[in-house]
Amino acid sequence: MSSKGSAPAKAGLRVGVIGAGVMGSNHARVLSGLPGVNLVGVVDPSPAHRTRATELADCESFETLDQLFAAGVDAVTIAAPTHLHHEIALACIAKNIHVLVEKPIASTVEEGHEIVAAAREAGVTLMIGHVERFNPAVAAVKQAIAGEDILSIAITRVGPFPPRMSNVGVVIDLAVHDIDLIRWFTESDIVEVQPQLSSAVAEREDIALLQFRTANGVLAHINTNWLTPFKARSVTVATRDKYVMGDLLTRQVTECFGFKPDGSYSMRHLPVGHDEPLRAELIAFLKAVRNGETPAVTGDEGVASLEIATQCLETPSRPAAAAPARKAPRRVAG
């Protein structure tokens, strides 16, 4: 039975948040301030997490999913730990509840496919929370390269080791954002993966240098780690006619163009909006729910990015071919 039928009559779309960690608490904060939204409450087994979320969002809190279902919701955002996404998403979809799932969609590609299939069969909206697409600097880069012949993309996403304990390494935690951006910028699938991974100080990989080739021939590179003492987030895109640089933290986007044979060129700063990415993302989700539209980031896109991230973790690095033994030093040419 759908939870919608039992929802008390109250203005606005009835929305719940599942998971009240740092991300879930932010979801609750944003949702509580959106017009046309009735934030029913947050669900989390941890009393401390529930307290933090309710203080931020001034809403009810529930210990279990069933309590939220009993209160009645039209849509939920799932910001629980990744290994719980599959179970929670399927439980919500079974109640005909629209779902936004934080990235990555699930722990495995198979689980991701099951979530997508269930949502499709139930006819509910499923959106994946790849929030970086809603960063105004990313949107400005995307607009600047629209219609251009893209040659290469380089993305840096580095910072210190996160204080929160995590059961994933940098590829799933950080690089999955940029895998999604590469697919979105190029509007093409990634067909070749060349990962270099290392576990320097953590149990799982904390350094990743990832190289890709897309179906339409774009070369892309992601540099990500947890060993940098400060956060850095940057995107550069080289096209046939321009070079675009975006700092995702300062939200400054610069375009180089008009290349001359003598090496000179022109530069300009591009206009960048000021929206909070999470707010823009949640507004997009609720708009898709209300209008029955295809969401900004579909379940299939979420699965595709997870699939590439998983390939990065499973592809063995190939040692370079051993050079033949030399009997004498090489001579210096010339």
Question: DSSP H helical segments within the chain, as ranges?
Answer: 22-32, 47-57, 65-71, 85-94, 109-122, 136-144, 170, 176-186, 277-291, 299-314
pLDDT (0 to 100) of residue 7: 40
Mean pLDDT of the chain: 92
State mean pLDDT over 289-306. 97
H/E element, 98 = strand 98-102
Predicted pLDDT of residue 327: 55
Closest CA to 209 of 312, 288, 333, 285: 312
Q: Is the backbone peptide bond immediately before 277 cis, with ω within 30 degrees of 0? A: no
CB of 43 closer than 8 Å to CB of 64: yes
Q: Selecting from 3.30.360.10, 3.20.20.70, 2.30.110.10, 1.10.287.1080, what CATH number does the domain 132-275+298-314 have?
A: 3.30.360.10
Give the model's pLDDT for residue 321.
61
Looking at residue 165, what is its pLDDT?
A: 60
| pLDDT for the residue numbered 162 | 86
Digit-coded pLDDT (tens) for 241-279: 999 999 999 999 999 999 999 999 999 999 999 999 999
- Do 231 and 131 form a contact (C-beta atoms < 8 A)? no
CA–CA distance, 110 with 303 (Å, rounded to integer): 9
- State pLDDT tens for residues 174-202: 999 999 999 999 999 999 999 999 999 88
Transcribe 159-209 into DSSP letters: EEPPSS--SS-HIIIIIHHHHHHHHHHHTS-EEEEEEEEE-SSSSS--EEE
Within the chain, all domains assigned CATH 3.30.360.10 are found at 132-275+298-314
Stretch 314-329: mean pLDDT, rounded?
62
pLDDT at 14: 98
Least Cα distance to 308 among 186, 127, 164 occurs for: 186
Q: Does residue 8 surpass a pLDDT of 50?
A: no
The CATH superfamily holding the domain 13-130 is NAD(P)-binding Rossmann-like Domain (3.40.50.720)
Pairwise CA distance, residues 284 & 14, whole Å: 16
Q: What is the pLDDT of residues 91-150, one digit of tens each?
A: 999 999 999 999 999 999 999 999 999 999 999 999 999 999 999 999 999 999 999 999
pLDDT at residue 263, rounded to an integer: 95
pLDDT tens digits, one per residue of 219-245: 999 999 999 999 999 999 999 999 999
Asked if 239 and 148 touch (Cβ cutoff 8 Å), the reply is yes
User: Where exactly does CATH 3.40.50.720 map onto the chain?
Assistant: 13-130
- For residue 84, the SS3 value is helix
Q: How confident is the model at residue 316 (pLDDT cuts 50, 70, 90)?
A: confident
> For the whole model, what pTM was predicted?
0.90
Mean pLDDT for 155-178 is 90
| CA separation for the pair 103, 105 (Å, rounded) | 5
Chain segment 73-86, per-residue pLDDT in tens: 999 999 999 999 99
Residue whose structure tokens are 């590829």: 171
pLDDT at 9: 42
Nearest in space to 245 (alpha carbons), one of 175, 148, 141, 136: 141
Q: Do the beta carbons of residue 72 and residue 7 sit within 8 Å?
A: yes
Phi, psi of 181 (to 5 degrees): -65, -40
DSSP code of residue 251: T
